Amino acid sequence: AIGIDSTNHLAYQHLVGIYQMAAQGSGLVLDGDTLRNASTPELIRAIGPERILALRNAAKLKSRDAAAGWLASDPDARQAYRSLSDAYVQLGKWDSAVVVLERTNNRPTSSSPSVPYRVALLHLLADDTLALPTLRAALQRYPTDSLKARGEIDRLPVLMSGFSIAGANGAIGLLDTLLRTAVNVDSMMPGGGSTTQQTGGFYALAIKLAMGIKPTEADKRNLARGIDAIDQSKSPYAPQMRAGSISLPYLAFLATGDTSFAGTARRWAAPPGTTNFANMLPELTAMIAANSGDTARAAQLVREFPSVDSLKNPNIAIGMAGLRLYARGQVATAVGDLRRAAGIYEVIDPKRFTSIGMSEPGFATYARSFLARGKVYEQLGESDKAIAAYEEFIRRWKNADAPLQPQVSDARQAIARLKDKPKSIPVGAPPRRG
């Protein structure tokens, strides 16, 4: 049976690890005291999708209870605070996750300068307005010297998670501040495979492109070099790095149209042992078809995407920080499937994002999805929904840095245009009877 062994001081940690793994859709589920494989469609059908969901939800509660027990038994264990906070994240209890994590710094034995940076990331996942001010406050209170003095192994990843916050808020200048701080904290990335300047610069560039900055030829070369370095890495951490960095070649393809980046993204997204990558990330196949002028093929692939109704299920996690859904919305728009595009944009929700990497361009494209949503609703003739989407985009990016303000201006002009325009019958609406 799975339980606490009082003779093992790591028992709680091991137990939390098992429960969290079973809760997060890792391909395993905990059925009673037995871990069962649920990594293929056949195995999922054998157990039953509804039962798997129930088992995962039960594992989330067990993870929370085990982490709380660990913290009660050892209030000085910093990892126990982190585990309990993570358990609340899995349960969607963002306020509780933040409160627990902030308690870490109330005790000298568990305090860490990286905690406020992680709290900022939690605010980003909760999609509230506190992420950016929390990050700026962390940089002010715990600058380079504080992070450097502790020598914690996660100091660079947690600092670079701020890139995602910068992207979500259109803060290009903040990317430079974060990169400079990271380089000063440690010149080499964990594992020693690359310099912080090289890797951090590459991640920062991806965020800028996700914000809508057009890549220069030099940018394209830097993208290719950075992606190739990860692709060819012989580090023992390389497989995990590639699996956690799919968004980089994916975003590079969206920004440049270079199909070699799409091929790399497919390979990185494929399970071990895959030899045929053609069916991986089908939205990229649709976009390649659309870009090449094969609209019929692209439209057919778009119709094969998961239905919008299925995507509305709050129990279905959204991977790669919503970037895939953003791309699907883009290609659906390109082939004229506007109703599907609007529905896809509507379901993007950071609270459902899972497996967040060190730096996620998807948070920037999530903000920009409101601008895209407004344009789609405008084409559909649904002025009220278009205005609401444009206004939400302006709310998020009204203080964006100067290079991004043209996008904000587009939204403002669209609102003015729509408010001056007589009401029209939405596309597809039945005619009114007199």
Q: Give 358-412 pLDDT, tens digit per residue.
A: 899 999 999 999 999 999 999 999 999 999 999 999 999 999 999 999 999 999 9
Residue 134 confidence (pLDDT) above 70: yes
Q: Pick 1-109's CATH classification: 2.20.25, 1.25.40, 1.10.150, 1.10.443.
A: 1.25.40
Q: Give 257-295 pLDDT, tens digit per residue.
A: 999 999 999 999 988 788 888 889 999 999 999 999 999
Residue 7 confidence (pLDDT) above 50: no
- Mean pLDDT for 108-125 is 93
Q: Are 143 and 108 in contact (CB under 8 A)?
A: no
Q: CA 159, CA 174: separation in Å to the nearest integer?
A: 12
Among 31, 22, 16, residue whose Cα is nearest residue 69? 16
Q: CA 288, CA 253: separation in Å to the nearest integer?
A: 9
Query: Percent of the chain, pLDDT > 70?
Result: 94
Q: For residue 6, what pLDDT is reported?
A: 42
- Mean pLDDT for 166-180 is 98
Q: What's the number of CA atoms in the CB half-sphere (13 Å) around residue 88?
A: 19
pTM, rounded to two decimals? 0.90
Q: Which DSSP symbol is given to 285?
A: H
Give the pLDDT band of residue 428 (cuts 50, 70, 90). low
Q: For residue 1, what pLDDT is reported?
A: 42
Average pLDDT across the chain, whole number? 91
Q: CA 23, CA 53: separation in Å to the nearest integer?
A: 9
| Domain edges within the chain | 1-109
Residues 6+ apart with CB under 8 A from 338: 332, 376, 379, 380, 427
CA distances from 421 to 38, 267, 377 (A): 54, 48, 14
